[in-house]
């Protein structure tokens, strides 16, 4: 009886998320936790919306086009392709673990995933639609109408429901159980000696000052080019575009380094093709430090241990349009 009671307490503690951290090593990076308090109906609906190109004017671009879940939640090109092949101004950040970010977009102009989700739909350079037109499409598709009603219990679909559902799906896109997290959680042989040396270099050189926490980044804004200026190939000004403060010029959200092996190219302008190049540039520009070839290789080896389990789910099947559904306009 006593034992059963203790098990009961342990389970409650785990569910509440309090007993969890105790199991880890005391490091500035903490393991990714699976999502809690997820609304599964909303997740399934949001997954469909995430993959649905009918939320774009052309009927060709979905959230997954630029935040491709087959490719680390990015598009792996320097800047994204928008409606009519417009070139985007900035590198698409990964959607993986984005629920852990302090804010969304490189400049943090959206407070959370819900606020972010509405942006690209209505951005003339991205999906080039409007919220009203997107809602007209959804309202014309009987299976969507039923599913929204089932999930939200309302008679009409509104943009808040759309962005809430997409955000709820995105909350599930975390990548636990990387080899680095296995090591954090006590599996001593999860890292090779070179990878562990790479981590110690990463920690002791100061990288960890910005790249820390559960997402190994994503939790602060920092100046790109702290010690030496960065010559960006993108016109983006960073955080100052949001705050209006000159002091925030060229401050960007520190990107997560989770799954960084999959999220190339790097930096807000996508100018660095390889991790070797990115580590070298960051060392020089942010830390005033020139890593040797061997140090660089060890840090890169460590970074590759941050690749976690990728979200695993069945490709959603989208409900077909009805006769009343407004047709996409890809070429006008």
**Complex with a second copy: residue 130 or 321, whichever CB lies closer:** 321
**Residue from 20, 39, 77, 209 in contact with a second copy (CB under 8 A):** 77
**Residue from 46, 53, 108, 238 in contact with a second copy (CB under 8 A):** 53
* In the complex, least distance from residue 95 CB atom to a second copy, rounded to whole angstroms: 13
Indicate the pairing of strand 221-223 with strand 251-253.
antiparallel
**150 lies in the binding site for a second copy (CB under 8 A):** no
**123 lies in the binding site for a second copy (CB under 8 A):** no
Query: Restricting to residues 233-262, which ones interact with a second copy according to CB under 8 A?
Result: 261-262
The helix (H) or strand (E) run that includes residue 252 is: strand 251-253
* In the complex, least distance from residue 262 CB atom to a second copy, rounded to whole angstroms: 5
As to burial, measured by CB atoms within 10 angstroms (0-12 exposed, 13-18 middle, 19+ buried), residue 145 is middle
**35 lies in the binding site for a second copy (CB under 8 A):** no
The helix (H) or strand (E) run that includes residue 251 is: strand 251-253
**Residue from 89, 119, 125, 316 in contact with a second copy (CB under 8 A):** 316
**177 lies in the binding site for a second copy (CB under 8 A):** no
Active-site annotation holds for 126: yes
The helix (H) or strand (E) run that includes residue 222 is: strand 221-223
**132 lies in the binding site for a second copy (CB under 8 A):** no
* In the complex, least distance from residue 243 CB atom to a second copy, rounded to whole angstroms: 31
Active-site choice (126, 147, 214, 295): 126
Query: Restricting to residues 268-287, which ones interact with a second copy according to CB under 8 A?
Result: 273-276
Cis peptide before 265 (omega within 30 of 0): yes
Contact criterion met (CB below 8 Å) for 218 and 102: yes
In b/e form, how buried is each residue of 290-306, taking b as 16+ CB within 10 angstroms? Answer: ebeeebbbbbbbbbbbb
Contact criterion met (CB below 8 Å) for 287 and 205: yes
**69 lies in the binding site for a second copy (CB under 8 A):** yes
Rg (CA), the chain: 21
**Complex with a second copy: residue 14 or 315, whichever CB lies closer:** 315
* In the complex, least distance from residue 142 CB atom to a second copy, rounded to whole angstroms: 12
Helix orientation angle between 275-287 and 293-303, rounded to the nearest 10 degrees: 110
Q: Cα–Cα distance between 207 and 202 in angstroms, integer? A: 5
Q: What is the DSSP letter of 124?
A: T
Tokens matching residue 167: 């955000």
**314 lies in the binding site for a second copy (CB under 8 A):** yes
* In the complex, least distance from residue 17 CB atom to a second copy, rounded to whole angstroms: 28
Q: Cα–Cα distance between 89 and 141 in angstroms, integer? A: 33
Candidates 80-88, 104-112, 245-253, 279-287 — which segment interacts with a second copy by CB under 8 A? 80-88
In b/e form, how buried is each residue of 212-227, taking b as 16+ CB within 10 angstroms? Answer: bbbbbbbbebbbbeee
**320 lies in the binding site for a second copy (CB under 8 A):** yes
**59 lies in the binding site for a second copy (CB under 8 A):** yes
**Complex with a second copy: residue 47 or 114, whichever CB lies closer:** 47
Where do contacts with a second copy occur on this chain (CB under 8 A)? 51-54, 58-60, 65, 68-72, 75-77, 81, 84-85, 87, 261-262, 264-265, 273-276, 310, 312-318, 320-321, 323, 327-328, 330-331
Q: Which residues are catalytic?
A: 126
């Amino acid at each position: 009886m006593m034992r059963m009671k203790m098990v009961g307490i342990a389970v409650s503690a785990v569910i509440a998320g309090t007993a969890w951290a105790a199991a880890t090593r005391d490091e500035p990076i903490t393991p990714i936790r699976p999502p809690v308090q997820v609304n599964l109906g909303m997740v399934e609906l949001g997954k469909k919306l995430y993959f649905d190109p009918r939320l774009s004017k052309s009927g060709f671009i979905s959230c997954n086009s630029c935040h491709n879940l087959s490719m680390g939640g990015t598009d792996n090109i320097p800047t994204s392709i928008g409606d009519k092949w417009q070139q985007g101004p900035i590198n698409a950040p990964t959607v993986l673990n984005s629920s852990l970010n302090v804010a969304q977009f490189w400049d943090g102009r959206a407070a959370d995933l819900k606020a972010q989700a509405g942006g690209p739909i209505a951005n003339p350079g991205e999906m080039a639609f409007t919220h009203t037109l997107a809602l007209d499409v959804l309202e014309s598709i009987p299976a969507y109408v039923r599913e929204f009603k089932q999930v939200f219990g309302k008679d009409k679909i509104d943009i808040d429901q759309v962005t809430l559902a997409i955000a709820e799906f995105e909350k599930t896109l975390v990548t636990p159980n990387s080899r680095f997290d296995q090591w954090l959680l006590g599996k001593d042989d999860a890292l090779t000696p070179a990878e562990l040396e790479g981590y110690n270099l990463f920690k002791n050189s100061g990288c960890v000052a910005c790249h820390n926490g559960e997402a190994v980044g994503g939790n602060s804004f920092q100046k790109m080019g702290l010690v030496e200026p960065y010559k960006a190939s993108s016109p983006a000004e960073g955080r100052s575009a949001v705050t209006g403060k000159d002091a925030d010029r060229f401050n960007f959200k520190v990107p997560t380094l989770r799954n960084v092996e999959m999220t190339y190219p790097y930096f807000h302008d996508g100018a660095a093709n390889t991790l070797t190049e990115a580590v070298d540039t960051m060392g020089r520009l942010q830390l005033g430090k020139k890593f040797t070839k061997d140090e660089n290789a060890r840090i890169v080896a460590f970074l590759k241990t941050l690749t976690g389990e990728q979200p695993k789910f069945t490709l959603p099947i989208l409900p077909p349009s009805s006769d009343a559904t407004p047709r996409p306009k890809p070429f006008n």
